[in-house]
Amino acid sequence: MLKAGELSDMFASRIATIRRHIAPRFLSARSSHANVESLERLGIRIEPNVRKALSEGLPVVALESTIISHGMPYPQNLSTAKEVESVVKQHGATPATIAILNGVPCIGLTEEELEFLAQCGSAAAKTSRRDIAQVISRGVTGATTVSATMFFAAKAGIHVFVTGGIGGVHRLGESTLDISSDLTELGRTPVVVVCAGVKSILDIPRTLEYLETQGVTVVSYGTEEFPAFFTSKSGCKAPCRVDSPEQCAAIAESNLKLELQSGILIAVPIPDQHSAAAEHVETAIQTALQEMREKNVQGNAVTPFLLKRVNELTGGDSLASSILSCMQVDQLSVAL
């Protein structure tokens, strides 16, 4: 299994390559439209550095928090969260990790709050859009999924959000109707989501069909094939290909100008040399799916269970790929 330091070393050359493309773009500048005072009147707390950036129209990148609480064990989750925020800062943007802490929606977390959330782990409520009201009303801590993070990012006028992989249509979803709210959120919230594709544990062809139904622009970066989170290969052709941050920004600009009111999904493949072997991961997924059915794991427990078991069955290879995916897509997000 790759250690965090080895991941950083491998990633250094990627940072140097993309750095020359990176500059604050109009998308992040549009954050100046956010009415910070009105957000705070709604009980939404904005971290001081994020508040300053929003008020001055400086670039801000939203980050989800479920990957911290449910995606990785402590302390690896904390070190990864800090490293992802560091990549954003290195390239001239302000990171805004979003979570609900003791019933208070927070846009941007301090180091102490990141530590608190990382230590909470799965004790934090996994919070999608559906769960926001009840998590706040009960005064508990909730880690936001893609859908909840998009909701709060849009409220704050943050138009770029980065995550590892989005949810989608689960395998056997045609029978269970288990479809992530990430997909419907992408259909109604104008936020650019930069990720490493749809999680390999899901039904990727059906997920892409569902995104088309929702009117979501789906883009692959530098490849004709839509990536699959742990690996750059999914077997599915991407609806659209782009090869530069400028092309990504142009698509997003058109979307906002026309007020399409839908999100944009930009999938950045993990480098082939760092991806988990596709056949190895697929075998692990099939085993984990069988165990899930035997244990009758359902609802929002499905994804954490599958990711944990796939990581165990691959000897940590899938987690290493997940960490690298998070940092990989983070670079493109600040270019927007």
Residue 142 DSSP code: E
In the set 47, 64, 85, 185, the catalytic residue is 64
- The two three-digit tokens of residue 299, written as one number: 């609802």
d(CA 159, CA 79): 26
**Is residue 28 exposed (0-12), middle (13-18) or buried (19+ Cβ within 10 Å)?**
buried
Backbone angles phi, psi at 37, to 5 degrees: -65, -40
Residue 241 half-sphere exposure toward CB, CA atoms < 13 A: 11
User: How many helices, marked H, and strands, marked E, lie in the chain?
Assistant: 16, 11
Amino acid at 37: E
Kindly state the tokens that stand for 22. Answer: 């990176």
Helix axes 317-335, 302-313, angle to 10 degrees: 120
Instruction: Compute φ and ψ for 63, nearest 5 degrees.
Output: -130, 140
Distance separating alpha carbons of residues 29 and 48, to the nearest angstrom? 17
Q: Would residue 295 show up in a list of annotated catalytic residues for this protein?
A: no
Please name which of 94, 76, 98 lies closest in space to residue 85, comparing C-alpha atoms: 94
199 is catalytic: yes
CA 177, CA 171: separation in Å to the nearest integer? 10
Q: What is the DSSP letter of 179?
A: B
Interatomic CA distance for residues 10 and 22, integer angstroms: 20
- One DSSP character per residue, 237-305 reads B-S-EE-SHHHHHHHHHHHHHTT----EEEE-PPPGGGSPPHHHHHHHHHHHHHHHHHHT--GGGHHHH
Catalytic member of 47, 85, 155, 199: 199
Q: Which residues are catalytic?
A: 64, 199
